[in-house]
Amino acid sequence: MTKLRTLSTAGAMIALLSGPLAAQELRFTVWTGNDAHLAMLNGIADSFTATHPGVTVKYETIPAGDYVQKLTFQLAGGNPPDLGWMFENSIPTFIAAGAVRDLAPTLTSTEGYDVADFSEPAMGLWTQGDSIYGVPFSTSPFMIYFNKDMFDAAGLEDPLTLAAKGEWDMEKFREVAKALSEANDAYGFEFKDGQGYDSRIMHAIMPPIRAYGGFAWQDGECGFNKPEAVAALTMLHEMVFADGSIVPPGEQGDYFSGGSAMTINQISRASKMPEAGFNWGIAPLPTGPAGAAPIIGQAGLAVFSESKNPELAAEFIAHMTNAENVAVMAQFFPPARKSVLDSEAFINANALIPAEQMANVSAAIEEGRVLPSHERSPQIDAAMKPRFDAFWRADADVAASLDAVCEAIKGEL
């Protein structure tokens, strides 16, 4: 009898120890190594641990340049993280390969989690039917950064003023870029981070294409050689080679060190401005014949199919993207939750950007669309690149070059 009691006590203790008190660790891959970012993320993890005793979250930084490769090798090599950040151009490939889990059951059943609070265009890339394969944590619109001193030196109204008057359109953009390059020892405009001819082709060409009412591809059809896109890219080509107002291929004209008067980038780059040494501002993208066409860049959170703790990982995403934590993350990552976007706190959140300029940011997030994406994005990019190299020659036949782009990618669409 005593033996039986001893055994049952031991059994109960083992059950207790291996039950709710057993430690569980969630491995979470990110591409930031920034101390402030990690401190904020650890704070969110601590608040999750408070309601889930024994659960810890371990953030693992993988540099952005190697992120997708290293993540893929971890997943394939039997060492899968539970969840992680995902780039906007990678998520369609991961969804198509079945490498990420549907979060909808967890998100819709989490008390107080309002999925409808997320801006619909911002969720477009991450949902398929009723399934939700990721939740965007950063939805950052592309804005025009301008060097106010160079505008003043050229005697020009800056883009913010022109936008307020409703005159900030593609024609005006071309006109001021040319005038700026003539008045200053600098180019008028630089593509995002000077990479518009290489890794940022889409960032360079999509703003004018959409402003002219064009598209890259849709429903398996290529749009680069449609009249709207041809008109937009003809203007861009002329700005580079005829006007000499955009930093040309193979040259450097860094905006942040005064090499160009304007550039296009996201608000995270504002952190570089205090050391730039000139007066500056941010304005919306110029409108075109099709009206305003703001563009957003995104990053999201996803749970990997190979995760050893998929339910718990999904619960953590629900926690991390609830209204309270999205407001916390908004100090670094512009949110897609409308309730946070519309709040005074967000408009006044950025110490470097005045409230009236942040209002433009907020509007662009609500109306903006992501860059075109596709489950075969890597193949499409590789097929497009050599054809766009040919397009970016001074003597290129624009229409013929764009036909060649469409011919090269049609098999991938």
Partner 1 sequence: MGTLPDSDTTARASRAPWLTLRRREAIEGWLFVSPTLIGFLIFFLGPLIAVVFYSLSEWNLLSQKTTYVGLANYADALTENPDFWHVIRNSVFFAAGLVPMNMALALALAISLSRPGKGVVFFRTVFFAPVITSAVAWAIVWKFLLQGEAGAVNQMLAQVGIDGPNWLREPNWAMVAVIVTRVIKMVGLNMILYIAALQAIPRDYEQAARLEGASGWQIFRMVTWPLLAPTTLIIMVITTIGSFKVFDHIYLMTGGGPENGTLVLAYYIYEQAFEFFNIGYASALAMIMFVIVLSLTIVQLLLRQKGSA
Instruction: Count the Cβ atoms, other than its own, within 10 Å of residue 189.
Output: 29
Among 29, 32, 89, 93, contact with partner 1 (rule: CB under 8 A): 93
Q: How far is the CB of 225 from partner 1 (least distance, A)?
A: 18
Residue 389 interacting with partner 1 (CB under 8 A): yes
Q: How far is the CB of 193 from partner 1 (least distance, A)?
A: 15
Among 324, 386, 397, 407, contact with partner 1 (rule: CB under 8 A): 386
Dihedral Cα 297, 298, 299, 302, nearest 10 deg: -150
Q: How far is the CB of 85 from partner 1 (least distance, A)?
A: 17
How many residues of this chain bind partner 1 (CB under 8 A)? 26
Residue 249 interacting with partner 1 (CB under 8 A): yes
Among 105, 121, 248, 258, contact with partner 1 (rule: CB under 8 A): 248
Residue 401 interacting with partner 1 (CB under 8 A): no
**DSSP string over 57-107:** EEEEE--GGGHHHHHHHHHHTT---SEEEEETTTHHHHHHTT-B---HHHH
Residue 355 interacting with partner 1 (CB under 8 A): no
Stretch that binds partner 1, among 67-75, 108-116, 130-138, 357-365 (CB under 8 A): 67-75
For partner 1, give the closer residue by CB, 95 or 318: 95
Closest CA to 24 of 308, 302, 314: 308
Helices (H) and strands (E) in the chain, counts: 18, 14
Residue 198 interacting with partner 1 (CB under 8 A): yes
For partner 1, give the closer residue by CB, 26 or 68: 68
Structure tokens that stand for 336 in this block: 């897609």
Q: How far is the CB of 131 from partner 1 (least distance, A)?
A: 17
Contacts of 165 (CB under 8 A, 6+ apart): 157
Q: What distance in Å separates the CA atoms of residue 313 and residue 319, rounded to the nearest whole number? A: 10
- Which strands make up the sheet holding 143-147, listed edge to edge? 187-190, 260-265, 143-147, 280-283
Closest CA to 308 of 18, 28, 17: 28
Q: Which residues, 124 to 143, sit near partner 1 by CB under 8 A?
A: none
The β-bridge relationship of strands 24-30 and 55-61 is parallel
For partner 1, give the closer residue by CB, 45 or 68: 68
Q: Any idea how long the chain is?
A: 413
Among 76, 242, 355, 399, contact with partner 1 (rule: CB under 8 A): 76
Place of tokens 């890339």: 125
Among 250, 275, 344, 351, contact with partner 1 (rule: CB under 8 A): 250
Among 152, 171, 251, 356, contact with partner 1 (rule: CB under 8 A): 251
Q: Give the footprint of partner 1 on this chain (CB under 8 A).
A: 69, 72-73, 75-76, 93-94, 97-99, 197-198, 248-252, 378-379, 382, 385-387, 389-390, 392
